[in-house]
Amino acid sequence: MRSSRGFLLSCCTAGLIFAQAAPQKQLSARELFYAAAQAPAAAKPATARPPAKRPTATPPKPVEIARADTRPPAPLPTAPPVAPRPAPTTAPMPASGAPPLGLRYTVLKLAADNTPTEVPNDTVFHAGDRIRFSVEANAPGYLYIVNQGSSGNWKPMFPSAEIEDGNNRIEGWHPYTMPPGSRLAFDSTVGTENLFIVLSLQPESDLESMIYSLQGKKKAAAAAPASTPEAPVQSSKELIMAANISGTAVDRMRAVYARDLIIEKVDPNTPGDKKETAVYVVNPTGSADSRVVADLHLVHQ
């Protein structure tokens, strides 16, 4: 009898462990994006960063004109490429309880009276079409948007001197319309307008060094005793409006930061209460240094 009772106890214990190991609920990118609002860590206040100083010599930003990417296509590799790992379509909430970092973007086509209409991001545009796009994060963070010209180099679209003197810290749950104070107008040259979007909880060091110029300024120390140590140096950030960002840097960030992302394209036929045409990109890790990257290709024929 003693051995039978021990066997029964072991079976009950194994059943309890099996029940506790039930898989977590899998969520789509859109579900993860909005679930961040209910996560406990989402209520923590973010540390505000003072606005960047705008250089006095910065000229007003002209109307953005889309330019085609006329570079010849890259030659095909001689060896067959390794098949990429299929991207996941769902993920659970972070085990740490921290909110997942997410980005929502949508393309807006402008009518003659400038009324915006959401259109799919793979829409083919034509000469005379005018568009903007909206970007929204589900948490405060740092936003970077660069676009590629015909030379192959990338230039910053955001941060912009037209918004908070070049400060690129954005608030969560607030849509930002791009380009700032302008729009993209397609001309008669066919091609593709390429944009690369980076959202991070912390300043992205690579992009910060390429987009901003750090200028040291010393605090005034008048009437201070001669033996007083020199006042600390403070840095203010100024935009480098003509900065070029290499394609190699963009490719590196894309390869490193896009590995854990969940992406979902939605339209009015997608199940759910919210009827929209948008793309959701979410980093489900919940880490303190989470980043989200997205490529937006605007085809013009």
pLDDT in tens, 198-241: 999 999 988 998 888 754 333 333 444 444 444 444 445 777 75
Give 144's Cβ-side CA count (13 Å radius).
Answer: 26
56 band by pLDDT with thresholds 50, 70 and 90: very low
Given a cut of 90, is residue 57 above it in pLDDT? no
Token pair in block for residue 179: 């380009």
User: Can you tell me whether residue 263 is helix, strand or coil?
Assistant: strand
- Taking the C-alpha atoms of residue 184 and residue 110, their distance in angstroms, rounded to an integer, is 10
Based on DSSP, count helices (H) and strands (E) in the chain, helices before strands.
Answer: 4, 16
Per-residue pLDDT tens digits for 60-112: 444 444 555 555 555 555 555 545 555 679 999 999 999 999 999 999 999 99
More confident residue, 244 or 170: 170
Mean pLDDT of the chain: 79
Residue 31 CA to residue 280 CA, distance in Å, equals: 9
Band of pLDDT at residue 11, cut at 50, 70 and 90: very low
Mean pLDDT of 147-175: 89
Indicate whether 279 pLDDT > 70. yes
pLDDT score for 53? 53
Non-local CB neighbours of 172 within 8 Å, separated by 6+ positions: 137, 138, 139, 140, 141
d(CA 200, CA 289): 7
Average pLDDT score over residue span 148-158: 85
Q: How far apart are CA 133 and CA 168, in angstroms?
A: 17
AA identity, residue 288: A
Map tokens 């997942």 to a residue. 100
205 or 47, greater pLDDT = 205
Side chain identity at residue 158, one-letter code: F
Place of tokens 């051995």: 3
Count of beta carbons in the 10 Å neighbourhood of residue 209: 12
- The structure's pTM equals 0.74
pLDDT higher at 2 or 250 = 250
- How large is the average pLDDT for residues 132-155? 92
CB distance 277 to 118 below 8 Å: yes
Q: Are 216 and 270 in contact (CB under 8 A)?
A: no
pLDDT tens-place string over residues 15-43: 545 455 567 899 999 999 999 998 765 44
Helix (H, G, I), strand (E, B) or coil at 8: helix
